[in-house]
Amino acid sequence: MQETLTMLAPPRLEAAPATPARPRRREIGAATMTLGVTLLVGCAWAISRWGGYAASSDTGYNLGLAGGIMMLLLFLYPLRKHFRFMHGFGPAKYWFAGHMTLGILGPLFILVHSNFQVGSINAGIALASMSLVASSGIIGRFIYTRIHHGLYGRRASLDELRALAGLNSKEVESKLAFAPKVENALTAFEATLSTPHRDPLRSVWAFATLWLRGRVVCFHCARELTRLYKIHARKKDWDHAKHQRRLKAAKQLVFAYVQGVQRVAQFNTYERLFSLWHVLHVPFVYMMVFSAIAHVVAVHMY
């Protein structure tokens, strides 16, 4: 106990740093989007079930037509990217926002049009292709935010992420010098993640369990900080509010640092996943276009 009391006093931490918290906001955004899409699909299913119309009726036909037009308008965003004369038609972020919105609303209209049923083989192929494109778009959006500054920002670099997380400075280490066990745990966690695995299976396992391992590190660090701050609060005669405020700020500092280490460790993996996603997404789009054309032709011919 005497050895603990003579250690460095914790620095004055009144609030957690703001900048490393950005990745957390993006995670919440992805979760919110997934929940929102799920609710919209549920609403579409309810409308198709109790709407009292058939896919071949005027209402069903117009719903399919609206959904088809929205799917066609999706191609405006890639066209805007590839044709220079379209670059002056507004900021790219608004085009991207429109692309994502149409990519959700279009399939929803098609689902309502079809009453969530497959009436023919070509309709089934078209519906499956559209579902693949929509699902891959949502997955691509999630990966995109992991390698860019926000949803509409420019592409990030690994050095920028390290600076954002505070991994290029000694700020966190200096603030946690009074807690050597916490400092050592964070250093060991970062060193473990910075060592690449040669075995692909171990790499996949490490990537899949990264979130859980980070939470374990945060738990042990928080427990150690709670013990140390309790000792210092008693020694310095802090009141309860001051004790809890500084303890909370220290825990937030550790959490932000662990989160930054995790994002840096995931960066290269997400870059590879985004490249693979792009290779797969384009064929899905072509398959959807051809099957949709075949479906429209079949409907009007027969």
Evaluate whether residue 242 is within a structural domain.
Answer: yes
Confirm whether 271 is domain-assigned: no
Residue 193 lies in a domain: yes
Q: Which residues of the chain have pLDDT under 70?
A: 1-31, 33, 145-174, 196-197, 268, 302
Residue whose structure tokens are 């929102």: 36
What confidence tens digit (pLDDT) does each residue in 47-71 have? 888 877 887 788 888 888 898 888 8
Q: Please check whether residues 173 and 262 belong to one and the same domain.
A: yes
Domain assignment present for 161 = no
* CA proximity to 176, closest of 143, 106, 224: 224
- Proportion of the chain in helix, strand, coil states, percent, rounded to 5: 80, 0, 20
Q: Which of 146, 275, 255 is nearest to 207 (CA)?
A: 146
Which pLDDT score, from 0 to 100, does residue 13 have? 56
Q: What's the pLDDT score for residue 223? A: 92
Q: Is residue 63 within 8 Å of 112, Cβ to Cβ? A: yes
What residues are paired with 187 via a beta bridge? none
Kindly state whether residues 41 and 135 are assigned to the same domain.
yes
pLDDT per position as a tens digit, 275-294: 777 777 778 788 888 888 88
Range of 242's domain? 2-20+167-266
The number of domains in the chain is 2
206 and 241 part of one domain: yes
Q: Please tell me the predicted confidence (pLDDT) of residue 219.
A: 93
- The burial class, CB within 10 Å (0-12 / 13-18 / 19+), for 82 is exposed
Question: What does the pLDDT read at residue 220?
Answer: 92
Q: What pLDDT was estimated at residue 147?
A: 65
